[in-house]
Amino acid sequence: MVIISLVLSWLIWTNNARFQRDTTDVATPKTQTTSKNVNEVYLPTQLLTSNETGAKYLVYNNKENLIDALHKKMTKWRFARPQKMNFTSKSYLAAVNQADAVSLVYPHNISYGVFGKAFKQKVARVNQQRLFNRIILPAAHADTAYFLNDQHKTGFKVTLRHADQAAIQARLKKTTMRLPVTEKWFNNRLQMYFLRNVKVTQYSYLVTKQSPTTFVTSLLGGDPSALETKEQKDLTTYSDGTYKNLAVDHRKGTVDFEDYSKDIARKTPTVALTNGHQMLNKIGNTPGNMRYFDYETKTHTMVYRSYVEGLPVFNQTDFGAVKVQLLKNGVKLNFSLYALQVPLPADKAATPLPTTQTALDRLSAAGYDLTKITGIKLGYHWGVNASSSSVIDLTPTYYYHYNGKWVSFDQLLNPTSDAATTSEERAE
């Protein structure tokens, strides 16, 4: 272990400056902060471009966060009143895959009201609950933006003032990776298909485990020694004796918190997402690479994940990185004690992944019912390094929402392997 520690120290000192320069923001998490702005959490996570012939690419730049750069420019634009758009299934798909356009995509629906807060736009109350998950900026209509909702095949458009499409295109010339893609209906849901074998960088990160005492203080308040405390195997439970309880699972490195001291408003998507963000800040010390991932309207549950190189991290816990559930008479929080800190050189290059269609064909050949897949994501699998528990290996892979859980491609094909010991439940 002494040798491992010396090696890690040397890697950090010799590589930190280079990696901090080459993998900024999303690629390299910021240091811990006590709070996060709405425009940090509720930003799109994917950037797509299409050329004049219709060829489409998922793009990113590991030296600059392009979505952050576009966000800064778009906050200076002005968005007019939304106008409803009507689609058939066919025309919706054509709009999504249109030529010569830029698309900013969220992993799940977000309200126009929350978008307005994140992008510094004034949104009339009547328009605040409009839901969408992608923004399309067509080159042919440089003064127009389309806001589309994949789930319901609906959308609206707005006229733009002060928009600078030339500046956007200039920024996109700096991409360091372009993955050919298209989008298709799969089980009546729009899914991204990678058209060639996918080769994404594998990362290793030094991680930090935060002290549970920090959260005992920030969430329960007061002196921790004055709280009711119970120890049971790997579980420590703290209670204020009335409405608040906090349980620390030392083996999993997770915290479950319940607060029934007051009602949290959740009657509309904008209100729920806004209060979800406030609960995220209440935790404090959330990492800088945290992004909105999912919102389950029936249970008023929001999931936030760590993101690296614009891709979501899975297997950090069995629910994401942070889960916020707004109840009728309180709130539940679930979150991880671990956070990515310093990027290290990976021990080996990532194995290229097959195309989306090839991967689905392999799952079908293995006996899986593809009609049970309701989501497909390219992401990173969080795994503890074999040489040091202080290092996390992030391995790129496909994740499938299968039978209500997020499960990796390897977990499905090799259910008895070490990688198959965990899966993630959705927000329900």
Beta strands in 250-359 (DSSP E): 254-259, 290-296, 301-308, 311-314, 322-327, 330-336, 338-344
Query: What residues form DSSP beta bridges with 78?
Result: 161
- pLDDT score of 287: 67
- pLDDT score of 13: 44
CATH fold for domain 207-342: TATA-Binding Protein (3.30.310)
Q: Is 55 helix (H, G, I), strand (E, B) or coil?
A: coil
Name residue 290's amino acid. M
When comparing pLDDT for 101 and 62, which is higher?
101
Give me the mean pLDDT over the 275-304 stretch: 88
Please check the confidence at residue 214 and state whether its pLDDT lies above 90. Answer: no
- pLDDT score of 181: 98
- pLDDT score of 3: 46
Output the CA–CA distances (angstroms, integers) from residue 305 to 74, 321, 323, 372, in the order listed. Answer: 24, 5, 9, 23
Give me the mean pLDDT over the 26-45 stretch: 65
- The full 3-state SS of 271-291, as one line of letters, equals HHHHHHHHHHHHHCCECCCEE
Please check the confidence at residue 25 and state whether its pLDDT lies above 60. Answer: no
Query: What residues form DSSP beta bridges with 132?
Result: 110
Lowest-pLDDT range of 227-231, 266-270, 340-344, 409-413: 340-344
pLDDT in tens, 6-21: 444 444 444 443 333 3
CA distance 123 to 114: 9
CA distance 292 to 426: 14
Total length of the chain: 428
- pLDDT score of 345: 72
- Mention every residue, 6+ apart, whose C-beta is less than 8 A from residue 151: 109, 131, 133, 189
Q: Is 118 helix (H, G, I), strand (E, B) or coil?
A: helix
* Cα-only R_g, the chain: 22
Residue carrying the six token digits 């390897």: 410
Element containing residue 246 per DSSP (H, E): strand 244-249
Q: Do the bridges between strand 391-402 and strand 338-344 make them parallel or antiparallel, or are there none, so unpaired?
A: unpaired
Q: Please, are residues 75 and 141 in contact by the beta-carbon 8 Å criterion?
A: no
Please check the confidence at residue 44 and state whether its pLDDT lies above 50. Answer: yes
Every domain of the chain and the residues it spans: 38-194, 207-342, 343-425
pTM above 0.75, yes or no: yes
CA distance 267 to 242: 26
- pLDDT score of 92: 98
Percent with pLDDT over 90 in the chain: 66
Q: Please, are residues 302 and 292 in contact by the beta-carbon 8 Å criterion?
A: yes
pLDDT in tens, 355-399: 999 999 999 999 999 999 999 999 999 999 988 989 999 999 999
Please check the confidence at residue 27 and state whether its pLDDT lies above 80. Answer: no
With bands split at pLDDT 50, 70 and 90, how would you rate the model's confidence at 99? very high
